[in-house]
Amino acid sequence: MSKKTTIYDIAEKLNITAATVSRALNGNPKISEATRQLVNDTAKEMNYEQNKLALALKSGKSFNVGVIVPRIDSNFFASVIRGVEDELYPQGYHVIICQTHDQKSVEIENINSLLNAQVDGILMSISNSGPEETRNFDQLLKKNVPLIFFDRKEKIPGVSSVTIDDFKGGYQATQHLINQGCKRIAHLSNNRKIEIFEKRYLGYKQAIIDNGLEFDESLVIETMSKVDEGRKSTKILLDMPEPPDAIFSSSDFVALGAIQEIKSRGINIPEEFCVVGFANEPFTRFMELSITSVDQSPVEMGRIAAQVFLEEVGNSKKIKSERQVVLTPELMIRKSSLKSSVLAK
C-alpha cells in the first residue's frame, strides 16, 4: 500500500530541500558531512529507492538496451544474450528482449517499440524471412542510437557488427574432413541468400579446391535446419550413382538427420563416412556418436557486442565509430568424423 518514497519525502521530514537531498545522495562534495549522514540514514529508514525513470527522462539515458533476436529459446541466441547480460548488468544496464520469430515486419515493430522505450542502444541479429522490405535503420541511425549487429548482419555504413568468420568455419571443417581421408565431400547448406550460409559454402568450396579435389556442385544441397530435412537431403546424396563419403552441414540438426539416415543404411560412421555439423549445439556433445561441429562461441559474441556498445556510448556522441569484429570459430572434433585409422598414423 505504501507509496514509494521520493526525495521530497525525505526533504520534508528533514526540513531541507529536495535539491540538497539529491546532492547528498549523489555524493556531491559541497554537502556537509552531517547532512549527508542524516540524509543517507533517513533514506534508508524510509526505504527510499531512486526512480530511474525520472532520472532517465531528465538525463535522456534510460540505461536499458534492447536485444532483438529471431527467438530466444534457441541455445545460440540464449547464449548470446547471456553474454550481453553478463557484460552489461555490472555497468548498470538492463537488457530488454524482443523476438522477431524471424519475420522482418516484426523486426521493424520491435525497433520502434524499443526506440519508444528510449533504449540507449540496440543489439540485433537480423531475420531472414519475410518480404524484402526496407528496414527503417536510417531512422534509427538518425536518432543516434547505437546499433550493433551480431551473427547475422547487413552492411550498413556506421553500424558495428560482431560475427564469426563463417568462411573460415566452413574451410576448417572441410579441411578436417579432407585430413581424415575423405575424397568426395558433400555440403548441406541452407538458404544461401543469407550471408552466413553463403560464406560457409564458400569456405567449403575453397578448401576442396585448395586441396586439389574435384568440386562437384551437385553435392551441395540447400536444406532447412531441421532433422527431417537433413535425412531427406542425405537420402538424395546416398542414392547418387557416385555418393559422397562425407558431409559438412551448416546446421547441427541437419547433421543429425544425416547421421540417422547414414546409419539406417548400415554405413559405418566415421570409418566409412564422416559428418561435421555447425553451431556446436549442446546435443552434439551428448550423443553416443558425438558430432563434430564448429563452435561459434555465442557467449563471447554477446560479451563483445556489449563491449562495442559500451565503447560507442562512451564516445562523445559526435564520433561515429564503426567496428567490425570477426571472431574465429573453433572446430570441436568428435566421434562423427574421427577415424581411428587416421589417429593410428
Partner DNA sequence: CTGTTAGCGCTTTCAC
Partner DNA sequence: GTGAAAGCGCTAACAG
Site residues, a copy of itself (CB under 8 A): 1-2, 4, 47, 49-54, 56-57, 62-64, 71-75, 78-79, 81-82, 85-86, 89, 94-99, 112-118, 139, 142-144, 227, 256, 263, 282-283, 286-289, 299
Among 2, 12, 16, 341, binds DNA (CB under 7 A): 16
Binding residue (CB under 7 A) for DNA from 26, 268, 316, 340: 26
The entry of DNA, a copy of itself, none that residue 6 binds, CB within 5 to 8 Å by partner kind: DNA
Locate all alpha helices (DSSP H) within the chain, ordered by sequence: 7-14, 18-25, 33-45, 52-59, 75-88, 104-116, 137-142, 166-179, 195-210, 227-238, 252-264, 282-286, 298-314, 340-344
- The Cα 301–Cα 5 span in angstroms is 40
What is the chain's Cα-based Rg? 26
| Site membership for DNA, residue 209 (CB under 7 A) | no
Among 1, 2, 47, 58, binds DNA (CB under 7 A): 58
What whole-number distance in Å separates Cα of residue 150 and Cα of residue 195?
Answer: 13
Residue 289: which of 301, 316, 271 has the closest Cα?
Answer: 271
54 binds DNA (CB under 7 A): yes
Return the number of the residue (120 or 198) whose C-beta is nearest a copy of itself.
120
32: CB partners within 8 A, 6+ apart: none
Which range, of 52-60, 215-223, 281-289, 332-340, touches DNA by CB under 7 A? 52-60
Choose among a copy of itself, DNA, none what residue 95 binds, the Cβ cut-off being 5 to 8 Å by kind.
a copy of itself
DSSP string spanning 205-242?
HHHHHHTTPPP-GGGEEE--SSHHHHHHHHHHHHTSSS
311 — phi, psi (to 5°)? -60, -45
Residue 82 CA to residue 72 CA, distance in Å, equals 11
- Cis, bond preceding 70 (omega within 30 deg of 0): no
Min separation Cβ 11 and a copy of itself, Å: 19
For the bound state, the minimum distance from the C-beta of residue 41 to a copy of itself, rounded and expressed in Å, comes to: 17
The reply on whether position 50 binds DNA by CB under 7 A is yes
| Partner from a copy of itself, DNA, none contacting 78, C-beta within 5 to 8 A by type | a copy of itself
Contacts of DNA in 113-132 (CB under 7 A): none
Pick from a copy of itself, DNA, none: which does 326 bind, CB < 5 to 8 A by kind? none
Nearer to DNA, 59 or 144 (CB): 59
96 binds, among a copy of itself, DNA, none (CB under 5 to 8 A by kind): a copy of itself
The three grid cell numbers given for residue 226, joined into one nine-digit string: 531441421
User: Strands 292-295, 330-332: parallel, antiparallel or unpaired by DSSP?
Assistant: antiparallel
What nine digits make up the cell of 29? 562534495
Binding-site size, DNA (CB under 7 A): 31
CB-count burial class (<10 Å; 0-12, 13-18, 19+) for 97 = middle
Q: Which stretch binds DNA (CB under 7 A): 56-64, 69-77, 207-215, 265-273?
A: 56-64
Residue 259 Cβ vs a copy of itself, minimum distance, rounded to whole Å: 9
Inter-axis angle of helices 227-238 and 252-264, nearest 10: 50
17 vs 112, which CB is nearer to DNA?
Answer: 17
Binding region for DNA (CB under 7 A): 3-4, 6-8, 15-20, 22-26, 28, 30-32, 34-35, 48, 50-51, 54-55, 57-60
